[in-house]
Chains A and B, each alone.
Chain A
């Protein structure tokens, strides 16, 4: 059963009965290999649709995920259960749990993964019987930038839970020692380092995620070393190399939390020589308005002048056909081509548009941008949306929609022997931002008519 991976969290959702007989098919060796290749930050099994489970089934599943944890440092466990299921799992492992439990999949993503939208606005209440667990859960949330409310006692909890969006009542933090944890704050990618930082960092660091972040335009990367006991020459070399490699993209690497106890003077100098900026704490960095401003301004990276190549023109029909077919299947509308022209991106700024870009890399490197009229964006990805969805949900669904189109293009190109991977999609709310990101770039622009409204595809380098 292939998991759904979102914001670096993998979720398996088995249905029905879960026992020793079928557990090894729910997470098969193939799934384990897949997880090891994508290195998710978290991997969980949702018990929402499971109506019966026994210890054998639970053990087989969690042991599979623990293998992934051993290799990639992934946080693993179960989520989406009621009180009865929660108590059953606790009873099955009376000594201690070496995995985590989260009330819901949404709550799991508060602790793991890269979903950091409106962190400070999320209304979270924590009330767990064991005070040690309660504190640990709350601390972890604080560290990730949330502002949870901790209920003092049951009455306090009953009173405050009415206003809470997330109620953390039956959760358990198992072994969480992933290094580095990654999250985004104020357009800064923050890698949290813990313990000893040595040659292991190169094995555990998610280079694909880092490279994709570069491609989509992040410019400031922070290594938070507050919890680092010691960093040696291998750790320093790794961070220095990232800094030197990132210079091509105009990227700044920052490290915070270093002190006399965890790094030598010489290694600190080595970092500085490699262009790494050193701040005493994460707080100090985020209070430095100048550098944070830079992180925001650079989120729309102006590219050097570039044009479309013959190679891109040769795959253009496949890209158009795959995109149009996927749009038609998912939206239910017929798409008619109005214009295909090699030019700079030409959009009327006054129109209300939503844009998404996705990068392809591998045998061919290019960027595909889809620009939707706002009125059709919601209809186009209606299959990914619930009925009562917000504007944010539409933007997120549009990203997923574009990722599906990217997946289809990747499949079709593979049939022609062209192997490519795709980056995470990036959405633009404003027309001027997408135009700025493509300034001086020529590409193939395809204008489509969908139910009387316009959708533009733009393929460029």
Chain B
């Protein structure tokens, strides 16, 4: 059985953000793209990550982009920041996945698609400066948390899922009274994300509709995007289709706009 202690013990094991990465974020917050690129150069693993993710087909670059200044230059401030936040998750990425048929490469594909499609959505909504933007980078932490927490009780949980149509999120809630978003928010807090972002991450999984303030529309689109990405064949094959238990109240206008945005090149 999972307990609150298991969760706290897990959060304890999460490493802090490396100094270079912190400085890189700080430079990006001051809109210093060149300075941030030069700082990123000091961390070999960070460069590898940036080159890897930015050359995924979803970003649509014809030629391979290698230079970090070039990468940041093409992506712009907002996406560069999201990518660096996405890199944080590499610090907690499991070496071997047991609960899901997943791996580091598939995880980065998922991250890349979220960041890219989210970029198109916030542009459409005209909210490129919203505090909710970086939240997208930390959400995939939910998958990692699930993998780590259920690793030791995987076979029992699988038998439970075979008997009852319970999502991992429902099982977690029944065992600990917490959602994956709340645990992701705990990780975000540990990594010193702002209070606003921590609160927003929690709210994405909140089932109390209508309590999202100024970010209501963004949260609706963000949930829709998560469900859309979880429906892709790779995620269905990996056993992640019913991972999130998000209730959506949608109208045709939002659905049509969503499709239009996603299909745009």
- Are A13 and B165 touching (Cβ within 8 A)? yes
21 contacts across the A-B interface (CB closer than 8 A): A1-B241, A4-B161, A4-B162, A14-B241, A15-B242, A16-B230, A16-B231, A17-B227, A17-B231, A22-B231, A22-B232, A22-B236, A26-B241, A51-B250, A326-B159, A328-B1, A329-B157, A330-B1, A333-B1, A383-B174, A404-B163
Cα–Cα distance between A328 and B161 once the two chains are bound (Å): 17
Residues of chain A whose beta carbon lies under 8 Å from any beta carbon of chain B: 1-2, 4, 6, 11, 13-18, 21-22, 25-26, 49, 51-52, 325-326, 328-333, 382-384, 400, 403-404, 407-408, 411
Contact with A along B4-26 (1 / 0, CB 8 A): 00000000000000000000000
- Are A2 and B162 touching (Cβ within 8 A)? yes
B residues 202-259 near A (Cβ < 8 Å) are 224, 227-228, 230-233, 236-237, 239, 241-242, 244, 248, 250, 255
- Are A326 and B156 touching (Cβ within 8 A)? yes
Residues of chain B whose beta carbon lies under 8 Å from any beta carbon of chain A: 1, 3, 153, 155-157, 159-166, 171, 174-175, 224, 227-228, 230-233, 236-237, 239, 241-242, 244, 248, 250, 255
Nearest CB of chain B from residue A106's CB, rounded to whole Å = 13
Top 7 nearest A-B pairs by Cβ distance?
Answer: A16-B231, A332-B1, A17-B231, A16-B227, A25-B236, A407-B159, A15-B242
- Contact residue among B156, B171, B231, B242 (Cβ-Cβ distance under 8 Å from A18): B231
Q: Which residue on chain B has the smallest CB distance to residue A46?
A: B165
Cα–Cα distance between A55 and B174 once the two chains are bound (Å): 36
Chain B residues closer than 8 Å to A15, beta-carbon distance: 227, 230-231, 241-242, 244
Cα–Cα distance between A11 and B236 once the two chains are bound (Å): 16
Cα–Cα distance between A121 and B157 once the two chains are bound (Å): 35
Contact A17-B160, Cβ < 8 Å, known A25-B237, A51-B250, A329-B153:
no
Chain B residues closer than 8 Å to A16, beta-carbon distance: 227-228, 230-231, 241
Chain A residues closer than 8 Å to B228, beta-carbon distance: 16-17
Chain B residues closer than 8 Å to A21, beta-carbon distance: 232-233
- Are A404 and B156 touching (Cβ within 8 A)? yes
- Are A407 and B236 touching (Cβ within 8 A)? no
Contact A13-B242, Cβ < 8 Å, known A400-B163, A408-B155:
yes
Nearest CB of chain B from residue A326's CB, rounded to whole Å = 5
- Are B231 and A403 touching (Cβ within 8 A)? no
- Are A332 and B3 touching (Cβ within 8 A)? yes
Nearest CB of chain B from residue A153's CB, rounded to whole Å = 32
Chain B residues closer than 8 Å to A331, beta-carbon distance: 1
Cα–Cα distance between A232 and B159 once the two chains are bound (Å): 43
Cα–Cα distance between A461 and B28 once the two chains are bound (Å): 70
Q: Which of B155, B162, B231, B236 has the largest number of chain A CB atoms within 10 A?
A: B231
Cα–Cα distance between A38 and B164 once the two chains are bound (Å): 17
Cα–Cα distance between A411 and B162 once the two chains are bound (Å): 14
Chain B residues closer than 8 Å to A52, beta-carbon distance: 255
Q: Which residue on chain A has the smallest CB distance to residue B237?
A: A25
Cα–Cα distance between A26 and B233 once the two chains are bound (Å): 8
Contact A404-B233, Cβ < 8 Å, known A51-B227, A328-B1:
no
- Are B248 and A51 touching (Cβ within 8 A)? yes
- Are A329 and B1 touching (Cβ within 8 A)? yes
Q: Which residue on chain A has the smallest CB distance to residue B226?
A: A16
Chain A residues closer than 8 Å to B166, beta-carbon distance: 383
- Are B227 and A330 touching (Cβ within 8 A)? no
Contact A332-B175, Cβ < 8 Å, known A1-B241, A403-B163, A408-B159:
yes
Contact A4-B163, Cβ < 8 Å, known A15-B230, A329-B153:
yes
Q: Which residue on chain B has the smallest CB distance to residue A25?
A: B236
Chain B residues closer than 8 Å to A332, beta-carbon distance: 1, 3, 175
Q: Which residue on chain A has the smallest CB distance to residue B258?
A: A52
Chain A residues closer than 8 Å to B1, beta-carbon distance: 328-333
Q: Which of A16, A49, A326 has the largest number of chain B CB atoms within 10 A?
A: A16
- Contact residue among B3, B159, B244, B248 (Cβ-Cβ distance under 8 Å from A404): B159
Cα–Cα distance between A13 and B245 once the two chains are bound (Å): 12
Nearest CB of chain A from residue B207's CB, rounded to whole Å = 14
